[in-house]
Structure 1
């Protein structure tokens, strides 16, 4: 489909994504998992959520897929570190999954639909490989819901550039609020929508989050696309990165983002 992953797979991005867990990123899904479930994790990235889900389903077969090989190297390394020899990580396109119809009890995607030009088609393909009675579980951030304090101009510009780059890729950065609508368009009807947040408010949390984005603004695909699409100059990116560092050290720093979540039962 030619979709572009706005964040990229540079070390600064993988380091940030590699701290995610099922507890902080898929808590809405955990109560629905059963021992022995076969599970597909679409857009698994460095695999930390995948490996947590594998523990939750026990004897079930678990496969994590991503569109490119780069993050899967990190996923396999995480699996080796945890002694997991059963979970598989493979390259696959969400629009053309190389699996049989009805192969999985659970198909999960975290922060994936927001990067796709046709998220409805992706949901239909996820439904194809899900067994009758199984579930599709998706969670996506809603960039339009993100709020922070202090309201530094450089961080406001960060958001403007991000939304501009996403829209230039024909993707939807405000995805969280649209999950139910996309599911309806995909023909899914038995839906359980919820929402949750990621929040950064302690000095340690804000320091980590701010320093992470200060690097990503300069080193990730965010920077490359911003420059190539004429959305920002290098001077602006330096300023945005500095704003993130300033925010990370501020004694009143606070940042929250809302996520849309959806369980769709077939």
Structure 2
């Protein structure tokens, strides 16, 4: 439900769409999404971008089965090729795709191994596109919080695996891996109280509250409720986005 709700958030599809547009995604391209989960973005790409072929790979069989169900439900089962595989050892031959893409996966794996695999399966002249959550850029929270509490909440960051990547080192990794013309594009994902079914906003706010002691959490919860009641509640979630070209 969380991943599906995120994909229904207008700010998220704008963030992903603008990054893929910067990579020059075109109708004659073969696209791979690494860590496709339930296929939310793949279905959006098929519907909005009209590329030649769309392939998704994920290590989680349950999510892949859900991706197949959702694709079939929307009449897209024949348009999306779903495979089981590990981001650190992709089950594809060299130079298979024009654009190899991943969103909020590199935080959870060996980032350098994953990037090397993404480059391997990308055609010379093709593009590698990676989006990660940011732990080094503050959030922006519009909820009428007291200044000191607001500063602490906005500085909170999620977890990242030992060898994962969730910061500006993403851009250096692209350069070190030999990618050219690297686009450095930190972006914010805006979340409004009425987006989707509200699951993403609720999870974000619960995560912020969990970093506070009981008294501060009570103030936070009250401020959020008041901001929601008057239609002012919004959050901006920082991400790092990178696009790099594989040398010819």
TM-score (norm 1): 0.71
CA RMSD after TM alignment: 3.6
Alpha-carbon distance between aligned partners in 1 of 2:6 and 2:200, rounded to the nearest angstrom: 12
1:264 aligned partner: 244
CA 1:109–1:214: 2 relative to 1, 3 Å: closer
1:181 aligned partner: 172
1:196 aligned residue (159, 178, 187): 187
Alpha-carbon distance between aligned partners in 1 of 2:165 and 2:227, rounded to the nearest angstrom: 23
Contiguous gaps of at least 5 residues in structure 2: none
What's the CA shift for 1:97?
A: 0.2
Task: State the secondary structure of the residue aligned to 1:28.
Answer: helix
What's the CA shift for 1:250?
A: 5.6
Q: Does 1:19 align with 2:13?
A: no
Contiguous gaps of at least 5 residues in structure 1: 1-10
What's the CA shift for 1:174?
A: 4.1
2:145 aligned residue (138, 143, 151): 151
Kindly indicate whether the alpha-carbon contact (under 8 Å) linking 1:14 and 1:71 is maintained by their aligned counterparts in 2: no
Alpha-carbon distance between aligned partners in 2 of 1:61 and 1:212, rounded to the nearest angstrom: 31
Alpha-carbon distance between aligned partners in 2 of 1:76 and 1:114, rounded to the nearest angstrom: 25
> 1:129-148 alignment to 2 at 5 Å?
129-143=121-135, 144-148=137-141
What's the CA shift for 1:42?
A: 0.8
TM-score (norm 2): 0.76
> 1:215-254 alignment to 2 at 5 Å?
216=203, 242=221, 248-249=228-229, 251-254=231-234
2:94 aligned residue (77, 82, 101): 101
The superposition leaves residues 120-179 of structure 1 with CA deviations (integer Å, 9 ceiling, x where unpaired) of 22111100000111111112232433121333759956974x53xx15x3265743x232
1:255 aligned partner: 235
Alpha-carbon distance between aligned partners in 2 of 1:155 and 1:43, rounded to the nearest angstrom: 33
4+ aligned runs moved over 3 Å, structure 1 = 20-24, 151-160, 171-174, 207-211, 213-219, 238-252
Kindly indicate whether the alpha-carbon contact (under 8 Å) linking 1:43 and 1:66 is maintained by their aligned counterparts in 2: yes
Worse-matched range after superposition: 120-129 or 207-216:
207-216
**Could you say which structure has the higher helix fraction?**
1
Q: Does 1:115 align with 2:108?
A: yes
